[in-house]
Structure 1
Amino acid sequence: MRVFAGRFAGRAAIVTGGASGLGKAVASRIVAEGGTVALWDLNSEALEAVRDEIGAVHVEALDVSDLQAVEAAIASTHAALGQIDVLVCSAGITGATAPLHEYPIESWLRVVNVNLNGLFYCNRAVVPLMLANGYGRIVNLSSVAGKEGNPNASAYSATKAAVIGLTKSLGKELADKGIIANALTPATFESPILAQLPKSQVDYMRSKIPMGRLGEIDESAAMVCFMASEECSFTTASTFDTSGGRTTF
C-alpha cells in the first residue's frame, strides 16, 4: 500500500462497517495519511480491537438501520471529533442467495434496511454538519451488482442500484456547496463478506471479471481514499469503478 503522507491532515472521517473488510482498510489508510477516524460497526468486540490496531479515536457500536442509533452516534461522534469532513458508508450485507420467487421476505427486508435505509440515515445525518463547514466528501459503497444485477441476489442488486441513484441525486443537490458525493462500484473482492455466500455464487462473480480474478481490498481502498480526499474536486454525483473490466460505464 502506497501512503500519501498528510493527505488527510486536519480532516475527520466516519467509516461505517469499519471493523472489517474494506471499511477497515479505508480507515487504516486515512489514519496513516494523517486523518482522524471514527469507526461505526455492529461488531463491538471487533471495533475495540481495530481501534487499538489502527489508532481510531472514536468508535460506535450500532446497527445503521436503526435511525435513532444513527442520530445518537452522529451527535457523539461529532462531539468527539469536533468536525466531520468525510463519510464512507461501507456497512452492508449480502442477504440470501435464492431466486426472487423464493427469496425470504425476512432477508429482503433486512438487506433493504441495512444497505439502503441505513446508508440513507448516515448520509442524512452528516450533511447538515458538512453544510455548516462548507466542505465534505461522501463515499457510498455500491457494487457492480447495482449496475448489472447478479442472479439469485435480487435484494443485494436492488439496494446497490438504489445507492447509485441516491448518490447521484445527493451529489447534484450539493454540487455548489463544497460537498462531493460519489459511489464506488467494485466487483467481488477478497473480504469477510464472501463468507455469507455459497462458493457457487463467488465462482459465478469471478467468472464475470475479464481480469479473471477477484479484486484486492487495497485496490478499492485506494480508490475510496482518492474519492474521500480534496484531490477529488471536480467529480460528483458519479460512480467510480474497480471491477477488473466487468463494468465500463
Structure 2
Amino acid sequence: MKFRHAAAAITALLVMHAAAAQTAVPAKPASTPAPASAEAKPGGNPTTDPATAGMPKAETPTVASGPVKPGDATAGQGKAAACGACHGIDGNSSDPQYPRLAGQSEQYIAAQLEAFKSGKRMNPIMMGFAQPLSEQDMHDIGAYFASKASLPGVADQALVAQGQTLYRQGDVDRGIPACMACHGPDGRGNPGAHYPQLTSQHAKYVEARLKAWHDNGETTGTPHGKIMSSIAQKLDDKDIAAVASYIEGLHTNDPTSAAPATP
C-alpha cells in the first residue's frame, strides 16, 4: 500500500512539473524569426518595417578608384613585359605581322587596349592580355612604348612615287583624302584625336589592315574605323601596296628621336 502511494505521489509530481514547463515556455512559432543580421535596417521598406518609415535610405558605400594619372613609363616597363614577345621589348617588333609600338602615343595605345578589353576591337590574343589591365595600367604601358624610338624602315623605291602622292595629296578624283591630313606630314599621328603614328610601321602590317578594311569594312563601329573603312574601300591593291611601303620608309632625319607628337 505504501509503495502504491509513493508511486502515485511521484507520478503527480512529474505531471505538475510538466504542466509548469508548458506554462513557462511559449509554444514554438510556426516560422523561425529571421536572425539578427537579417533584420530590417534604416532605409528598409516602410511597408514591411514601420519602424524605419521616414528614415533616409542607406546607400552602399563605394570605393572611388580615383582619377587616372598620366602614364608612368617606369611602371609601364614591367607591365609591358608580356608585350615584348610579339611587339619587341622596346616596341620594335621583328615580325611584320605584329605592329611596331615604339614611339606610338600613350593615348592611342591606351585607347586600343580598352577597345580590346571591351571587345569593340576583336582579337582573341589581345583580348586575353587586355582583360586584367586597369585603365592606369593601360596608360603606363602606353607611356613606356611612347618613350621608345621607332627604328626606321625602308620603302620599295619602285612604289615610292605612288605612295608619296597618296600619303601627301590623296586622290581628289576618287575621293581619297591625304593620309597626312590625320597622321601628320611626318607620320607621327595626332595623340589628342587618337590618330596613330604610322612612321616606320611594317609595310606588311599596314597592308593587311588596309585590305581588311577594304574587304570586310568596319566591324567594330568605332568612328576611326569607319573613316578608315570608307577610305580603304576606294583603294585598289596597287594603291594599298604603295602607300604601305611608303609609310614603312617614312621617318624623320633623327631616328633616335622618340618624342611623340603633341595634339
> TM class, shorter-chain normalised?
under 0.3
- Quick check: which has more Rg, 1 or 2? 2
More strand by share: 1
TM-score by length of 2: 0.25
